[in-house]
Copies of this chain bind each other. A is one copy, B any other.
Amino acid sequence: MTSPDETFFITPQDVERAFYEALEKGNLEAMMRVWSDEEQVVCVHPGGAALIGQRAVHEAWQQIFAHSGKFNLQVVQQTAVITPFAVITHVLEHFSQIGQEGLVAPVAATNIYTRGVLGWRMVGHHASPAPPDSLAEVPTVLH
């Protein structure tokens, strides 16, 4: 069982960690605890249209988790913009299929977190395919 306490994220880093753990594990419930329940949330999957609002975001993750295989994920933060009520990170996501050699092309993602009465939550995730040579630009490993 999940207690309500587990949905309180004290820092945006906590949200980011929980987001990528949920993504790697394909855990829909954990994924949706990461997201704000505001109507303005927006999620863009690589090559996809913008999904606006929690319901659309939820449905897309449900579909993705239903069809994706097991993979490992390494996330490298490239930059962050920090303000009192909103933090924006830009990361490179490196996916690798379990049981297959080599990394696939990375994904560039902008993640947006805001601070509300329930702590920090994700309000935006914009992901797009990045060139393979983006692999070289790896300052610090987050997860």
Contact = CB atoms under 8 A, between A and B. Distances in A.
Interface of A: 38, 40-42, 44, 46-50, 52, 78-81, 83-86, 88, 90, 92, 108, 110, 112, 114-115, 123-124, 126, 128-131, 133-134, 137
Contact of A126 (B81, B83, B110, B134): B110
Contacts of A44: 90, 108, 110, 128, 130
Nearest to A86: B86
9 contacts: A41-B81, A44-B110, A44-B128, A49-B108, A49-B131, A90-B124, A110-B112, A126-B126, A128-B129
B92 A78 contact: no
